[in-house]
Structure 1
Amino acid sequence: MDIEILRTIGIVSLILLLSSILFGGSLLLIYARRLRAMNIPPDATFFETLHYTPLLVVIAIDLLDLGLDILAAPLSWVILDKLGLKALRGVATVEALIPGTQIIPTMTLCWFGVRLLGIRY
């Protein structure tokens, strides 16, 4: 491969990663107050928590996972804990630690699964 092609791929990848971090972080900042005001039971299951969580929040979690790769595991644990979404921490952390899964929007797919398949808690 030509060095220019590799450089272009690297620059595009870097732009994609940085933009996903900025956009995902911005979404979480916007929704932080709204999420803290929600009354999600402390013993809520994963599916129950997803039922209460807005779509843009799970998209933001997936964007941060894409942009931060393996560093998303501890960061998502802390963020989800602070936002009161404790039931989502385990799945987000495990997904962040598995190599190659960052491109898959796991939380978003789970959110749609809960909504479309009618999974009840």
Structure 2
Amino acid sequence: MFGGVPETGVTEVPEGACLLDVREDDEWSAGHAPGAVHIPLGLLSQRAGEVPKDTRVYVVCRVGGRSAQAVMALNQAGWDAVNVAGGMQAWEHAGLEMAAESDEEPRVV
């Protein structure tokens, strides 16, 4: 657990799970998990309605700090959210699939 926040490893995120990426636009554009929903942490309170409440939400950032904040806020507001330990850095190191918003090779910045 990251500061008392529930978490799971990148290889334990179920296929097809609701994955919420709370990184900034430039980080998202450089490389992200395919199928993830992108809502920067600073906009989460305004856009929380876009996050489904009827399923567990796995939240990811670069290394886990921002996503832990998002998980705490979502869980306090009635969601079932889990932090993805190690964030997109761990995702990349595990060799999991990534996509980018450009023709460049996906990477974590």
Give TM-score, length-normalised by structure 1. Answer: 0.30
Give TM-score, length-normalised by structure 2. Answer: 0.33
Task: Name the structure, 1 or 2, with higher relative contact order (CA <8 Å, separation 6+).
Answer: 2
Work out which of the two has the higher radius of gyration on C-alpha atoms and give 1 or 2: 1
Looking at secondary structure, tell me which structure has more helix per residue. 1
